[in-house]
Chain A
Amino acid sequence: MTKYRINKTRFVDQTKTVSFTFDGKKYHGFEGDTLASALLSNGIHLVGRSFKYHRPRGIMSCGSEEPNAICQINDNTDLTEPNVRATEIELYEGLKASSQNCWPSLNFDIGGINNLISPFIPAGFYYKTFMWPKSFWKKIYEPLIRLSAGLGKSPTQPDPDIYDHKHEHCDVVVIGGGISGIISAKIAAKNNLKTILIEDKNILGGSTIYQNNKNFIIDNQKSNEWLMNEISELEKLDNLIIKTRTSLAAFHSYNYLLAKENISDHLPLDKKNGSIRQRLWKIRADKVIVAAGAIERPLVFNNNDRPGIILANSVKKYLDFYGVSTGLNNIIFTNNDSAYETAVSLFDKGISVKIVDIRKRSSSNIVKNAEDLGIKIYWNSTVVNTFGYKKIKSIEIMNLSEDGSNVTGNKHKIQCDCLSISGGWTPMVHMHTQSGGKLDFREIDQVFVPSEKSGNHINVGSCNGDFELEEIVKNTNNKVKKFLNINEGSFDKISVICSKESEKKNIWLLPNTISESKTKSFIDFQNDSTAKDIKLALREGFKSIEHVKRYTTTGMATDQGKLSNMHALGIIADTAGVKMGTLGTTTFRPPFTPLTFGAIVGRSVGKFFDIVRKTSIHKWHVQNNAKFENVGQWKRPWYYPINNENLHEAVQRESKAARDSAGILDASTLGKIDIQGSDASEFLNRVYTNAWSKLGIGKCRYGLMLNEDGMVYDDGVTTRLGENHYLMTTTTGGAANVLFKLEDYLQTEWPELDVYLTSVTDHYSTASICGPNSKKILKKLFPNKDFSDEAFPHMSYQDAIIDKTECRIMRISFTGELSYEINVESKYGKSLWENCIAAGEEYKITPYGTETMHLLRAEKGFIIVGQDTDGTMTPIDLQMDWIVSKKKYDFIGKRSLYRSDTIREDRKQLVGLLTDDPNEILEEGAQIVSELDKKPVEMIGHVTSSYFSPNLNKSIALAVVKGGKKMNGQKLFVPMENKNINVTVSDFIFLDKENKRINA
């Protein structure tokens, strides 16, 4: 046993040794230890350097509030994890941990120089200092700041661990497995309510489980023994789920809870493999009982941050729970009775202990107990300084003046190797406020307590501001019974004896003899903000607590101010001379403790990150070397390279083939909406800009859909299949939104219309064959069909049979070529496609992808919604006046087309651009200017589509330019990083303006 492992407890199995390394050195602890308790048992206090001044820091607490002991785990691998709290991580065989924020080593840290120059780096230092010269920012200041910013090292490899999500519904959730949580869970579960008890530690019991002081008696037993029996009874209850190692991350409204369960973090490395690491529980509960407990406050005095200064109740936990003494010569510095329990515990183990108390006296049983044992108590005294660089060696104390605002008398120096501090308790009201609850300020002991109006949750125990054992037990019992409508409970006749505190005193910033500017009284230990930083912020005019917080970074570290927020508030209130209750608090945001990204995303990683949609022809594309492009969730063939062709070469070949002979495109991804009902024609009249009533059965028409603000929303061809039956196509990416919008109008604005909409995108697969030889290929596929222009004109459709399967043939074109689209039920898609390829072989039918499709339509000046439009383009801007019906009384967006803004002549309008050098290809998104000399240069538009056209043998581009309609022939410039490209505005239809090819 090590020098500091002085006690045997039931919680640490001292027969099972566990070895681990810290900063490369090997140590031993036992099963049941945390990393922190194991380090302390080896006499190690110094575990890290502080963020700003690089001061040596030691373990300060035993839980999630720990500001200093944050470690890097598995430091030598690519899968290292930073900022793990040593006080929370359970020791396992092979654990490798190291300190953070120090270089070259924990014991000798160059950054420690910041401590010496600290008078020159006050709060707001970065805001004030790196202002000038401006040119220094990018090369000098920013890299410097980045070097010193951040805690720990990030892993460089993807996380290989498995994370899980699970949904759960129940009657009651109890948050916290301390004494009040255990009482609540038992009452609920015994009354046939399905109950979940959540506890973040590995065992239940909270701080009562190691409360072995004889002053705390329940039903004639020591409180820890009583609770032990209760826990074993609890474990027998059927409708109670106990979730240990599970921490509540968030408590949202409507009792929706997120809780993270650690499943394999505590297991030795060889046993972790393959098992789930963490599970995020998503719980919807009828009622929630918060029993989250309280966190002990530190005290704020000069040099209150040295290694060896530890919260008093944590000292007791290390002693009575882990069997570890944090020092052999202890001083306790307190403003309340609870620290006396620590003193008595230390004394019982034979460890030297003295007490410094800021109060003049206290008459409670526990204080009397300490006095009777002969423990030396310095009443009405405060610590004014501490000594020892890497570990505390001694302290200086002085008497307090009558009102506590100053110190009097002589300094008295006392040697020690551990200083236990206690500034009282802060109820954990995070859960309550996260769910929308408000807080009240209680003057007597300076705490914020939950204000419960009504609702489906209550707070019990110390998170409700009940700190004495008797009131915890009795109030919890009464409150839970009332909350759950239960008349009789198991705890109605319980007898509790405990020490009661009557004298209370609190001083947020303890007085000193030396001037404040020369002290370092830390409030936020992790972010190194001190009392004088807070006061500086106030002097500089910051008044709101939220502003002071951000300016001084108090409470903004990974511990989220669990130890610091109350002191910051108190010092602001005292300095500004206002009542603390009037200041409010900063917002308590989830998560309560940091969550891993793994737990947040769960199984939704890699292939499961998002849905991937593939057409029925996908396999053929893969076999034929297609490169794919993501369009929404769809995988669409982008181009089909042959013999190491690059994108450009493949697209040039494909587009030439499509215009010279025949090309084939998988168009299955286009959105398809089946529209039926006696008002279907009227409905289309209202949603499209053009007229639909006179469209004959068997005919197709292109339609443009606007938003109510007049801007182009979507486009596509709609076919009239029958008197009251249409098939609408939409853009691939817009399908879901178009359906959503159409349903909205049908249900809310025009419920009188008899129209039914069905999404049939996935029902059909589409092969689109285009090119001068396409008709010949169609004839081979459908020998019995008449494809003459008279029998089957452009913009019409016919039913047909292929391979005994029904299909629809639409003669429509997005390329400007003679073109047919064949639709079959999806399951026959691949077979249809292979038939088309076989039939087209003699014409060298060439499969082409989206890139070639974009090029072909750009040659023809057809827009792509979303590429050539951006939600600010009207059909008039797109020079598509021909599609806007003048006769129709109304359609979606009509009125907006003649608002004062939409009729402006200098709006951005669609134009064609030709580069003076026909081989120069513009970059899509490039900006367009008319004058190069004018400064600042005015941007008058941008390039929306740009390609090299193999059919025209020159570069072509579509662009939107202010007032572009009237600029035909005008010279403009596209300034790039190294040069200005000269361009000429042209017609945006580059090829076959007479529409001859469609009927070729």
Chain B
Amino acid sequence: MFVINCPYCGERDQSEFSCGGEAHIVRPKQPTELSDDEWAEYLFMKKNIKGVQFERWNHAHGCRKWFNMIRDTSNDKIHAVYKMGEKPPVI
């Protein structure tokens, strides 16, 4: 159970948040132009790595804002938290 520093609310217990999987996957602007394989790549191919991972999180039982987080999945160390649309900080 880690503590997450919500960029809007500050430090809160993990139980207030929900994880939305890998971050920085942009929905294609013109899906109809894509082949089945390209669309499948966007739709299904998500990383689940052991180590430093970029993730989407939502403060579901708080401000309900989505934000991004850099987390090491092997030890749950959170390297950075940043707002949607911001570039990920270098770690």
Measured CB to CB, the residues of A under 8 A from B are 252-254, 256, 284, 436, 708-709, 740, 743-744, 747-749, 751, 889-890, 894-896, 899-900
Q: Is A253 in contact with B2, judged by CB distance below 8 angstroms?
A: yes
A-chain residues with CB within 8 Å of residue B76 when the two chains form the complex? 253-254, 436
Knowing A253-B1, A747-B84, say if A895 contacts B27 (CB, 8 Å): no
State how many angstroms separate the Cβ of B58 from the closest Cβ of chain A: 7
Q: Is B31 in contact with A436, judged by CB distance below 8 angstroms?
A: no
Q: Report how far A254 CA is from B4 CA in the complex, Å.
A: 10
> Is B17's CB within 8 Å of the partner chain A?
no
Q: Report how far A178 CA is from B34 CA in the complex, Å.
A: 67
Q: Is A889 in contact with B32, judged by CB distance below 8 angstroms?
A: yes
Q: Is B60 in contact with A751, judged by CB distance below 8 angstroms?
A: no
State how many angstroms separate the Cβ of A62 from the closest Cβ of chain B: 33
Q: Is B27 in contact with A254, judged by CB distance below 8 angstroms?
A: no
Residue of A nearest to B13 (CB): A284
B-chain residues with CB within 8 Å of residue A256 when the two chains form the complex? 1-2
Residue of A nearest to B1 (CB): A256
Residue of A nearest to B65 (CB): A747
> Is B52's CB within 8 Å of the partner chain A?
no
Q: Report how far A253 CA is from B20 CA in the complex, Å.
A: 21
Return 16 A-B CB contacts under 8 Å, by A number: A253-B1, A253-B76, A254-B76, A256-B2, A284-B3, A708-B43, A740-B58, A747-B65, A747-B84, A748-B56, A890-B32, A894-B32, A895-B31, A896-B39, A899-B36, A899-B39
5 smallest CB-CB distances across A and B, nearest first, come from: A895-B31, A256-B1, A254-B2, A747-B66, A749-B27
Knowing A748-B66, A896-B43, A900-B36, say if A253 contacts B85 (CB, 8 Å): no
State how many angstroms separate the Cβ of A898 from the closest Cβ of chain B: 9
Task: Given contacts A709-B43, A748-B56, A896-B43, list 5 more A-B pairs with CB under 8 A.
Answer: A253-B2, A708-B27, A744-B66, A748-B66, A894-B32
Residue of B nearest to A889 (CB): B32
Q: Is A254 in contact with B1, judged by CB distance below 8 angstroms?
A: yes
State how many angstroms separate the Cβ of A687 from the closest Cβ of chain B: 13
Knowing A256-B1, A749-B27, say if A895 contacts B39 (CB, 8 Å): yes
Most buried by B among A256, A708, A895: A895
Knowing A748-B66, A894-B32, say if A899 contacts B27 (CB, 8 Å): no
Q: Which of B1, B20, B31, B58 contacts A252 (CB 8 A)?
A: B1
Identify which of residues 29-57 in chain B touch chain A, using a CB-to-CB cut-off of 8 Å. Answer: 30-32, 34, 36, 39-40, 43, 56
A-chain residues with CB within 8 Å of residue B13 when the two chains form the complex? 284
A-chain residues with CB within 8 Å of residue B66 when the two chains form the complex? 743-744, 747-748
State how many angstroms separate the Cβ of A903 from the closest Cβ of chain B: 10
Q: Report how far A26 CA is from B78 CA in the complex, Å.
A: 58
A-chain residues with CB within 8 Å of residue B79 when the two chains form the complex? none
B-chain residues with CB within 8 Å of residue A749 when the two chains form the complex? 26-27
Measured CB to CB, the residues of B under 8 A from A are 1-3, 13, 20, 26-27, 30-32, 34, 36, 39-40, 43, 56, 58, 60, 64-66, 75-76, 84-85
Q: Which of B32, B58, B65 contacts A895 (CB 8 A)?
A: B32
B-chain residues with CB within 8 Å of residue A894 when the two chains form the complex? 31-32
Q: Report how far A740 CA is from B58 CA in the complex, Å.
A: 9
Residue of B nearest to A254 (CB): B2
Q: Is B39 in contact with A744, judged by CB distance below 8 angstroms?
A: no
Q: Is A744 in contact with B32, judged by CB distance below 8 angstroms?
A: no
Q: Report how far A899 CA is from B75 CA in the complex, Å.
A: 39
Q: Report how far A252 CA is from B3 CA in the complex, Å.
A: 11
State how many angstroms separate the Cβ of B82 from the closest Cβ of chain A: 13
Q: Report how far A128 CA is from B8 CA in the complex, Å.
A: 59
B-chain residues with CB within 8 Å of residue A436 when the two chains form the complex? 75-76
Knowing A253-B1, A254-B3, A895-B31, say if A740 contacts B39 (CB, 8 Å): no
Residue of B nearest to A253 (CB): B76
B-chain residues with CB within 8 Å of residue A900 when the two chains form the complex? 36
Q: Report how far A333 CA is from B13 CA in the complex, Å.
A: 51
Q: Report how far A436 CA is from B1 CA in the complex, Å.
A: 12
State how many angstroms separate the Cβ of A252 from the closest Cβ of chain B: 5
B-chain residues with CB within 8 Å of residue A254 when the two chains form the complex? 1-3, 76
Q: Report how far A515 CA is from B10 CA in the complex, Å.
A: 66
Q: Report how far A896 CA is from B85 CA in the complex, Å.
A: 26
State how many angstroms separate the Cβ of B72 from the closest Cβ of chain A: 11
Q: Is A253 in contact with B65, judged by CB distance below 8 angstroms?
A: no
State how many angstroms separate the Cβ of A619 from the closest Cβ of chain B: 30
A-chain residues with CB within 8 Å of residue B36 when the two chains form the complex? 899-900
State how many angstroms separate the Cβ of B22 from the closest Cβ of chain A: 12
B-chain residues with CB within 8 Å of residue A284 when the two chains form the complex? 3, 13
Q: Report how far A764 CA is from B85 CA in the complex, Å.
A: 36
Q: Report how far A829 CA is from B2 CA in the complex, Å.
A: 43
Q: Report how far A818 CA is from B19 CA in the complex, Å.
A: 45
A-chain residues with CB within 8 Å of residue B1 when the two chains form the complex? 252-254, 256
Residue of A nearest to B74 (CB): A436
State how many angstroms separate the Cβ of A750 from the closest Cβ of chain B: 9
Residue of A nearest to B77 (CB): A253
State how many angstroms separate the Cβ of B73 from the closest Cβ of chain A: 12
Q: Report how far A889 CA is from B40 CA in the complex, Å.
A: 19
Most buried by A among B36, B60, B84: B36
Q: Is A744 in contact with B85, judged by CB distance below 8 angstroms?
A: no
Q: Is B39 in contact with A253, judged by CB distance below 8 angstroms?
A: no
State how many angstroms separate the Cβ of B85 from the closest Cβ of chain A: 6
Q: Is A748 in contact with B84, judged by CB distance below 8 angstroms?
A: yes
Q: Report how far A744 CA is from B3 CA in the complex, Å.
A: 22
Q: Is A253 in contact with B75, judged by CB distance below 8 angstroms?
A: yes
A-chain residues with CB within 8 Å of residue B40 when the two chains form the complex? 899
Q: Is A751 in contact with B84, judged by CB distance below 8 angstroms?
A: yes
Residue of B nearest to A736 (CB): B60
Residue of B nearest to A257 (CB): B1
Q: Report how far A890 CA is from B28 CA in the complex, Å.
A: 10
Q: Report how far A33 CA is from B40 CA in the complex, Å.
A: 68
B-chain residues with CB within 8 Å of residue A899 when the two chains form the complex? 36, 39-40
Residue of B nearest to A746 (CB): B66
State how many angstroms separate the Cβ of A757 from the closest Cβ of chain B: 10
Q: Report how far A284 CA is from B11 CA in the complex, Å.
A: 12
State how many angstroms separate the Cβ of B36 from the closest Cβ of chain A: 5
Knowing A253-B2, A253-B75, say if A890 contacts B31 (CB, 8 Å): yes
A-chain residues with CB within 8 Å of residue B2 when the two chains form the complex? 253-254, 256
State how many angstroms separate the Cβ of B42 from the closest Cβ of chain A: 8
State how many angstroms separate the Cβ of A341 from the closest Cβ of chain B: 40
Residue of B nearest to A757 (CB): B64
State how many angstroms separate the Cβ of B18 from the closest Cβ of chain A: 8
State how many angstroms separate the Cβ of B25 from the closest Cβ of chain A: 10
Residue of A nearest to B34 (CB): A895
Residue of B nearest to A743 (CB): B64
A-chain residues with CB within 8 Å of residue B32 when the two chains form the complex? 889-890, 894-895
A-chain residues with CB within 8 Å of residue B56 when the two chains form the complex? 748
Q: Report how far A252 CA is from B1 CA in the complex, Å.
A: 6
Q: Report how far A749 CA is from B85 CA in the complex, Å.
A: 10
State how many angstroms separate the Cβ of A935 from the closest Cβ of chain B: 35
A-chain residues with CB within 8 Å of residue B58 when the two chains form the complex? 740, 744
A-chain residues with CB within 8 Å of residue B85 when the two chains form the complex? 751
Q: Report how far A436 CA is from B3 CA in the complex, Å.
A: 15
Q: Report how far A894 CA is from B30 CA in the complex, Å.
A: 11
State how many angstroms separate the Cβ of B49 from the closest Cβ of chain A: 18
Q: Report how far A364 CA is from B3 CA in the complex, Å.
A: 49
Q: Is B60 in contact with A740, judged by CB distance below 8 angstroms?
A: yes
B-chain residues with CB within 8 Å of residue A252 when the two chains form the complex? 1
Most buried by A among B20, B39, B60: B39
State how many angstroms separate the Cβ of A158 from the closest Cβ of chain B: 27
Residue of A nearest to B66 (CB): A747
Q: Is A744 in contact with B20, judged by CB distance below 8 angstroms?
A: yes
Q: Report how far A84 CA is from B29 CA in the complex, Å.
A: 63
State how many angstroms separate the Cβ of A558 from the closest Cβ of chain B: 25
State how many angstroms separate the Cβ of A690 from the closest Cβ of chain B: 17
Q: Report how far A889 CA is from B2 CA in the complex, Å.
A: 42
State how many angstroms separate the Cβ of A951 from the closest Cβ of chain B: 43
Residue of B nearest to A256 (CB): B1
B-chain residues with CB within 8 Å of residue A896 when the two chains form the complex? 39, 43
B-chain residues with CB within 8 Å of residue A748 when the two chains form the complex? 56, 66, 84
State how many angstroms separate the Cβ of B44 from the closest Cβ of chain A: 8
